Structure 1
């Protein structure tokens, strides 16, 4: 009897016990993922941009959300607002200071269901930007999941994170309308 219980306990600890936790590599090469941002311009319109170079992965488990996680690393020098002079200014020490802080990153501490809303989750984690790490929280929504035409399996999420640039030591004053930056995440992952 004891041997049977021990064997059963060991089976629970094997990798098959975690079979429903799938790891996905974020598809940046196929341009099926993006990290975009927008900042209010003088209260009249939006300045928009993106980071062209980033990488990451996420783990998704439908049965046990305690296994869910996401990590993203961004090359800050890849900032692109479709205006070369403005991009140089954003890269300068007035804003991102890419020579000193070449990367920004996010690592989740939890991904949990958002109440009764199926496919919606609350993500908590640590965002490092401009050399400062702060805890953040935001909502994501699953866009979809399924087989792709090449025999793989994909899953995608979208979400938006609001942050105050000043909280990360970026104090260049563009007026009160521009104090909040909105990061828009579109993450399509390929199951590994």
Structure 2
């Protein structure tokens, strides 16, 4: 069984779709149908939004055994994009993502727990800035079915909140900016 990360919220939710067999999916990032976004408070006055433009991953799921589902994602942290070149340069520095030493972040699921008919908690290990910590994704099944090109797709969304200090990001942005929210939307193509 393949394991997969990025998309972060995919693995166990596939079980929600009602397919009869376990299947492997590749995240359709190149087709612009998957996104890893983030938001963080700016001084408590507004939100700063950004994304990672380059990531890959896959997931496996089994409707009969959702607990056996898995997801694995790899993110190129140098692809951080907040729509401001100077800020992105700072985000890549050792004040934040330290991409010179840690150009890749990864997520690999370790447990899938169904919380409703179309929701799940996906626990996994997130490695960011050289630090590995367990995180839980609050995931939701969006839908599945055949696409116009003869393939079969399934989609999920998920969120989690990270404390910057947990990943050795020590830049002090003020009391309102100690956590960042990850917002994930993933569409996978069945293999």
Q: Which residue of 2 aligns with 1:108?
A: 109
Question: Which blocks of at least 5 consecutive residues in structure 2 are unaligned?
Answer: 1-19
For normalisation by structure 2, the TM-score amounts to 0.88
Report the Cα distance in structure 2 between the residues aligned to 1:67 and 1:146, rounded to whole angstroms: 22
Note if 1:128 corresponds to 2:127: yes
Unaligned runs of 5+ in 1: 1-18
Aligned to 1:148: 147
Q: Distance in 2 between matches of 1:33 and 1:111?
A: 21
TM value normalised by structure 1: 0.88
Q: How many residues are treated as equivalent by the alignment?
A: 172
Higher relative contact order (CA 8 A, sep 6+): 2
Residue 66 of structure 1 deviates from its aligned partner by 2.4
More helix by share: 1
1:45 aligns with 2:9: no
1:26 maps to 27
CA distance in 1, matches of 2:62, 2:168: 36
Q: CA deviation at 1:109?
A: 0.3
Do residues 174 (structure 1) and 173 (structure 2) align?
yes
RMSD: 0.9
In structure 2, the residue matched to 1:58 is 59
Q: Answer whether contact 1:21 1:67 (CA < 8 A) is retained.
A: no
> In 1, Cα distance between the equivalents of 2:175 and 2:147?
45
Report if the CA contact (8 A) 1:73-1:105 is conserved: yes
Answer with 1 or 2: which has the greater Rg: 1
